[in-house]
Structure formats: structure tokens, C-alpha cells
């Protein structure tokens, strides 16, 4: 199989301008190379082998090069590339050039391409990218245009509606996700305690880890963004209201300050390491941190669809388990779920039909869905779920986590919550949580900076 790590997203965009076959559009007016006589690059669709059309909901297709970008962990990369190989074998003449990597810095690179109009043909996108980068539908294509190829009837209308902006279905949602606790049970066993089911037990575990295992051991590790989501989870549990309502921040500065003090209390109780401590570990991401692999960081608060990369990163012999929602944080069921990711086709693609065939293969067809399984979460496609479930292909840990999340969480996520100005490294969330952890901000100042940053993104008329 052709496997390569992308050297840069921009370089891969050359392929998105490659014209299809001998009849498709020619993006950017690039010259189309005419094959020598006897070559197969320009074979008319009607002369293609019958097997090339098998499984295609709309008959024949043209030879072309498609570009496809996504992010994730190693297991997602391997599954996606295997699925691409199967797609290329099923549809001779379509070549897929892939660009992929970890999340770090990914959105910045994609945002530059969205602005420049050099986006790959098919893209894994965050749900929030639709409103952030294509609010008028000029970046992502309306997938209703290719519904004769891409079977949208496999998806519940309410999930398709979540991805419909400016009257256009701009992505197909792959799965729903939320954050839940995962534990390295081996470390808790070494500390002589059970994995925590309540906030009270988690707070007690901090002292136990410190006394029984040492200063380097913590029952939980949180990135700056994890801290933000957990803080909102806590506030929703206490106050019983959405973080953002009707486009406006729904919490007062005093309430936000209380949430920040909760996060600081986790550090004070040795439940989580400081932001500086995690930074000093020198790891690109939490799952690549040796302290996670070794069990010194014994818990994470993570998307259910990310379970695989954290489980795979643990040293051999360590037991990875799904935790519980912490119902004792308040009188309400805090937390939220969201569209974990979607597949979108670029508005400027020269070959929308073939791009739709790739998405159809990955999300709905038996062969593709069996390879992808639950690498991007529990499939929302009815055909994919039924196929994977019947074959026992779904990751049991992800199934368990997803079921717990969707049965518990009660609040809605505003798409702007994930705006790059807030959630990216160097964004408002990172500034506030790092400043609070280091002592550069007290909770009152941190609440003010956070509130101001959020209202800047939402609009000044949304001020708390």
C-alpha cells in the first residue's frame, strides 16, 4: 500500500487541481495531459471494465486523482489508508492522494487553504468549521447535489440538519461524540484504590497518589482545552443552563469565576499536574506523553472517538477502562455532545461525482465501513452501524463510552465554542488556563479575560 506522511498540506493541493479523465472540469485552467495512443488514462467511461462500476450508485465514472485530508492518531491513519487502497482497487483509474497528521497545528494549515481556495477534494472537518470557514457555503459543496451517489437516507435528518448552514448540507456527520473519563486501572490498583465514579472520589485519589506512588503520579491529566470543557461541564451541572444561549454567553463573570476556581482546586488537590508540568514533559500530545504510557498520568477526559489512540499508547500490560460521568458535581446532568467530525467535499472540486463516491465508500458501503469501523467514533450511518455491529467490528470501549455520554449529557454545544481564536494553541482558552495555572491570573482576572475573549468571537451584543 502506498503510505506516506505528508510533508505539508499546501504541497498536496497541487493534486486538487488535477483534472479528471477526458471529460471532467479543469480546475484553474491547468493543461490536461493527453495520453499516448494505446494508453488508458483517457479511456471513455463507457469502455471501462464492468467491475469498475460495481457498487457505484450512479453508473460509470471518470479516471482522476482525488485529494483527501484528515487528522488523527496512528490507528485512524492506518485504517483510512487501508480503506483508500480498497477504494482504488474497486474503482480502477481513481487515485487518491492522502494528506494526514496529528491535530497539532492542523486547523491553522487548513484555515489557510480555506481562505486561498486550495482545499483538497475531500476533507475530514470539525463541525465548527462549517460556521467558521463556510458560513455562506462558498468553501464546502452542498452534498444534496450528489445525493444520487452519496446515500443520505442512511443518516437521521436531525444530524444532517446540524451540518446544514446557509441552506446547504456542507458535510456528512460521521458520528456523535462527547467527553468522558478514561482510566489506567493498573495505576489505581497500584495505589490501592478503585477508579473514581464520583468527584469526591477523584479528589481523594489525588492525595492517595501523592502519598502512595509519589509526586510524579496524578489520577488525571488535562490539556488547556480539556480544562475548559470540564469547567463548562461543571458549571452546567451546578447551574443547569447552556454555556451559550441564542448566540450569547449565558453565564455571569461570578459564575465563570466559580468554574475556574473548581479547575484550580484540582491542581491544589494533586488531582492534575500544572500546565507547566505537562509542557515540561515535551510531548506533542497527551497520548504521546511517556508519563501517560507509563501510568504516571492515570486518567484522561477525552472524546469517546479518541479512545483507541490513548489505549494503544499505553505500555504493554496496562488496563484501560471507561469511567463514569461524575453525577455529584451538581444537581444537573452537565456536559454536551457534538458532531465529532464530518466529511466535506470542496466547492471548487473539479470532480464532485468521484469525490462523492469516495465518501459513499467510506461511510455507507460494506467494504469501506468494515475497514473504518469505529476509528472516527460509532457510525451514524445506519448501513455502517448495522454492517460493523453484525461483524463485531466496533471498538467495545468506544461503544461503551459513547452510550454513557449520549445517555447522560443534557446540554447543547454552540459551534462557536470551537472557534480557532478560542480553542487553538495560543487562543483564549489556552491563555486563560495557563495563566490561572501559573498564577499570572487570579480567578477573577481569568474570568474577565475568558468572558471578553468569548464575547469577541460571539459578537459584542452577546456580552454577559
Of 7-16, 33-42, 48-57, 203-212, highest mean pLDDT: 203-212
- Are the C-beta atoms of residues 103 and 74 closer than 8 Å to each other? no
Three-state helix/strand/coil letters over the chain: CCCCCCCCHHHHHHHHCCCCCCCCCCHHHCCCCCCCCCCCCCCCHHHCCHHHHCCCCCCCCCCEEEEEEEECCHHHHHHHHHHHHHHHHHCCCEEEEEEEECCCCHHHHHHHHHHHCCCCCEEEECCHHHHHHCCCCCCECCHHHHCCCCCHHHCCHHHHHHCEECCEECCEEEEEEEEEEEEEHHHHHHHCCCCCCCHHHHHHHHHHHHHHCCCCCECCECCHHHHHHHHHHHHHHHHCCCCEECCEECCCHHHHHHHHHHHHHHHHCCCCCCHHHHHHCCCCCHHHCHHHHHCCECEEEEEHHHHHHHHHHCCCCCCEEECCCCHHHCCCCCCEEEEEEEEEEECCCCCHHHHHHHHHHHHCCHHHHHHHCCECECCCCHHHHHHHHHCCCCCHHHHHHHHHHHHHCCEECCHHHHCHHHHCCCCHHHHHHHHHHHCCCCHHHHHHHHHHHHHHHHCHHHCC
Residue 170: partners with Cβ closer than 8 Å, 6 or more residues away: 130, 134, 137, 139, 140, 141, 142, 143, 163, 164, 344
Give the closest residue to 434 by CA, choosing from 224, 281, 145, 227. 224
Reply yes or no on whether the pLDDT at 37 is more than 90. no
- The string of pLDDT tens digits covering residues 355-396 is 999 999 999 999 999 999 999 989 999 999 999 999 999 989
Q: For cell 499516448, what's the residue?
A: 36
- Going by pLDDT thresholds of 50, 70 and 90, the confidence category of residue 43 is very low
What's the CA gap between 73 and 76, in Å, rounded? Answer: 5
**Residue 197 pLDDT > 50, yes or no?**
yes
The per-residue pLDDT for 412 is 82
pLDDT at 29: 29
**How far is CA 117 from its chain centroid?**
22
Phi-psi region of 260 (alpha: psi -120 to 50; beta: other; left: phi over 0): alpha
**From 4-18, 328-342, 437-451, the region with the lowest mean pLDDT:** 4-18
The pLDDT-based confidence of 57 (bands split at 50, 70, 90) is: low
Q: Of 11, 118, 109, 7, whose CA–CA distance to 425 is shortest?
A: 109
On the question of pLDDT at 25 being above 80, the answer is: no
- Comparison of pLDDT for 228 and 420, the residue scoring more: 228
Q: What is the CA radius of gyration of the chain?
A: 23
- Cβ neighbours around 50 below 10 Å, total: 7
Mean pLDDT of 212-240: 98
Neighbours of 425 (CB within 10 A): 15
pLDDT digits 0-9 by tens, 279-337: 999 998 999 999 999 999 999 999 998 888 899 999 999 999 999 999 999 999 999 99
User: Is residue 32 pLDDT above 70, yes or no?
Assistant: no
Residue whose C-alpha is closest to residue 45's, from 351, 366, 358, 363 = 351
Q: What angle do CA 342, 345, 348 make, to 5 degrees?
A: 150
Report pLDDT for 461: 67
Mean pLDDT of 126-147: 95
Phi and psi at residue 208, to the nearest 5°:
-65, -45
Distance CA 142, CA 164 (A): 9
Q: What is the pLDDT of residue 436?
A: 98
Q: How far apart are CA 87 and CA 360, in angstroms?
A: 10
**Sorting pLDDT into bands at 50, 70 and 90, what band is 463?**
low
Do residues 379 and 173 touch, judged by C-beta distance below 8 A?
A: no
Amino acid at each position: 500500500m502506498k503510505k506516506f506522511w505528508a510533508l505539508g498540506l499546501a504541497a498536496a493541493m497541487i493534486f486538487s487541481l488535477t483534472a479528471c479523465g477526458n471529460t471532467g472540469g479543469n480546475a484553474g485552467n491547468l493543461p490536461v495531459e493527453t495520453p499516448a495512443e494505446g494508453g488508458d488514462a483517457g479511456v471513455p467511461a463507457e469502455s471501462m471494465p464492468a467491475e469498475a462500476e460495481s457498487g457505484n450508485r450512479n453508473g460509470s465514472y471518470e479516471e482522476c486523482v482525488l485529494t483527501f485530508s484528515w487528522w488523527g492518531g496512528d490507528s485512524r491513519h492506518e485504517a483510512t489508508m487501508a480503506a483508500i487502497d480498497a477504494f482504488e482497487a474497486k474503482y480502477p483509474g481513481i487515485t487518491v492522494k492522502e494528506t494526514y497528521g496529528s491535530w497539532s497545528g492542523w486547523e491553522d494549515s487548513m484555515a489557510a487553504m480555506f481562505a486561498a481556495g486550495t482545499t483538497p477534494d475531500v476533507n475530514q472537518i470539525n463541525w465548527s468549521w462549517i460556521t467558521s470557514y463556510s458560513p455562506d457555503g462558498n468553501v464546502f459543496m452542498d452534498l444534496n447535489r450528489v445525493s444520487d451517489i452519496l446515500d443520505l437516507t442512511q443518516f437521521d435528518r436531525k444530524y444532517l440538519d446540524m451540518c446544514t448552514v446557509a441552506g446547504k448540507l456542507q458535510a456528512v456527520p460521521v458520528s456523535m461524540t462527547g467527553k468522558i473519563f478514561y482510566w489506567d486501572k493498573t495505576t489505581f490498583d497500584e495505589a490501592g484504590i478503585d477508579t473514581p465514579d464520583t468527584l469526591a472520589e477523584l479528589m481523594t485519589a489525588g492525595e492517595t497518589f501523592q502519598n502512595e506512588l509519589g509526586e510524579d503520579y496524578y489520577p488525571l491529566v488535562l490539556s488547556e482545552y480539556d480544562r475548559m470543557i470540564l469547567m463548562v461541564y461543571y458549571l452546567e451541572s451546578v447551574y443547569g443552563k447552556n454555556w451559550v444561549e441564542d448566540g450569547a454567553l449565558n453565564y455571569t463573570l461570578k459564575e465563570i469565576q466559580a468554574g475556574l476556581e473548581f479547575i484550580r482546586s484540582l491542581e491544589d488537590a494533586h488531582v492534575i499536574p500544572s500546565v507547566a508540568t505537562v509542557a515540561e514533559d515535551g510531548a506533542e500530545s497527551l497520548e504521546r506523553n511517556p508519563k501517560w504510557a507509563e501510568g504516571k498520568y492515570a486518567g484522561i477526559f477525552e472524546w469517546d472517538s479518541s479512545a483507541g489512540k490513548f489505549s494503544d499508547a499505553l505500555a504493554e500490560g496496562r488496563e484501560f477502562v471507561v469511567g463514569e460521568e461524575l453525577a455529584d458535581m451538581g444537581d444537573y446532568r452537565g456536559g454536551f455532545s457534538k458532531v465529532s467530525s464530518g466529511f466535506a467535499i470542496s466547492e471548487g472540486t473539479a470532480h464532485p461525482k468521484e469525490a462523492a463516491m469516495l465518501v459513499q465508500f467510506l461511510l455507507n458501503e460494506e467494504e469501506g465501513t468494515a475497514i473504518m469501523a469505529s476509528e472516527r467514533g460509532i457510525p451514524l450511518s445506519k448501513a455502517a452501524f448495522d454492517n460493523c455491529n453484525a461483524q463485531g467490528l466496533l471498538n467495545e470501549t468506544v461503544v461503551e463510552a459513547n452510550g454513557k455520554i449520549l445517555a447522560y449529557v443534557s446540554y447543547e454545544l454552540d459551534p462557536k465554542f470551537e472557534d480557532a481564536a478560542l480553542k487553538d494553541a495560543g487562543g483564549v482558552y489556552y491563555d486563560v488556563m495557563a495563566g490561572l495555572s501559573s498564577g499570572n491570573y487570579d480567578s477573577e482576572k481569568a474570568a474577565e479575560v475568558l468572558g471578553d475573549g468569548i464575547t469577541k468571537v460571539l459578537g459584542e451584543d452577546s456580552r454577559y
